[in-house]
């Protein structure tokens, strides 16, 4: 069983390894960035891109998914979970940071799109990403826009260092 960054196996590293990293240049706004992200990523058959985008935008209207330090975690709870056959975490680097109404006022440079099949996994992934986002050296590393393998290895090293449990 995957238990997230706090446990013995990093689910987030596994999912990023599976789903990859994107670099976006057309990031004029939060809406445009989400539209570009949803249009680019692989979605399982049965998941409607337009409905997903609408759900993500509606979530942003409720409250920003920016968590500070230039990171946002667009997500929706239980979005068409019957059509979602596996959990997804997709990373997108924004070449030009975007105002995402972050609590710290900083523009967002990195997105972690989270889609989970169940609420427990959804909450665990959000907690894992928040823990990573609170580490200054990890945030600095993210700003360098590392490739997938480097990012996965850094997350695993973060976990092994014990930083995830502090």
HEC string of the chain equals CCCCCCCCCCHHHHHHHHHCEEEECCCCCHHHHHHHHHHHCCCCCCCCHHHHHHHHHHHHHHCCCEEECCEECCECCCCCCCCCCCCEEEEEEEEEEECCCCCCCCCEEEEEEEECCCHHHHHHHHHHHHHHHCCHHHHHHHHCCCCHHHHHHHHHHHHHCCHHHC
Residue 82: predicted pLDDT: 62
Distance CA 78, CA 65 (A): 16
Residue 160: predicted pLDDT: 83
Catalytic residues: 75
Beta pairing partners, 98: 108
Residue 43: predicted pLDDT: 87
In Å, how far are 20, 57, 75, 142, 166 from 112, measured between CA atoms?
11, 15, 8, 11, 22
pLDDT in tens, 71-115: 999 999 766 656 778 899 999 999 999 999 999 999 999 999 999
Residue 146: predicted pLDDT: 97
Which residues, given as ranges, of the chain have pLDDT below 50? 1-3, 5-8, 165-166
Residue 117: predicted pLDDT: 86
Residue 47: predicted pLDDT: 85
Q: Tokens 């985008």: give the residue.
A: 53
Instruction: Locate 145 and state its tokens.
Output: 């826009």
Distance CA 106, CA 115 (A): 24
Residue 81: predicted pLDDT: 56
Residue 115: predicted pLDDT: 93
The CATH number of the structural domain formed by 11-159 is 3.40.930.10
């Amino acid at each position: 069983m995957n238990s997230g960054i706090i446990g013995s196996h990093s689910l987030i590293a596994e999912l990023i390894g599976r789903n990859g990293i994107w670099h976006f240049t057309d990031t004029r706004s939060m809406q445009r960035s989400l539209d570009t992200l949803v249009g680019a990523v692989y979605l399982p058959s049965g998941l409607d891109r337009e409905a997903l985008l609408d759900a993500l935008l509606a979530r942003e209207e409720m409250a920003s998914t920016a968590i500070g330090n230039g990171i946002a975690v667009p997500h929706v709870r239980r979005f068409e979970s019957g059509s979602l056959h596996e959990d997804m975490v997709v990373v997108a680097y924004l070449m030009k940071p975007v105002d995402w109404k972050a609590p710290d006022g900083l523009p967002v440079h990195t997105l972690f799109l989270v889609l989970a099949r169940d609420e427990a996994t959804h909450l665990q992934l959000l907690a894992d990403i928040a823990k990573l986002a609170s580490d200054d050296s990890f945030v600095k590393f993210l700003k360098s826009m590392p490739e997938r393998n480097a990012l996965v290895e850094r997350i695993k090293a973060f976990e092994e260092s014990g930083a995830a449990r502090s």
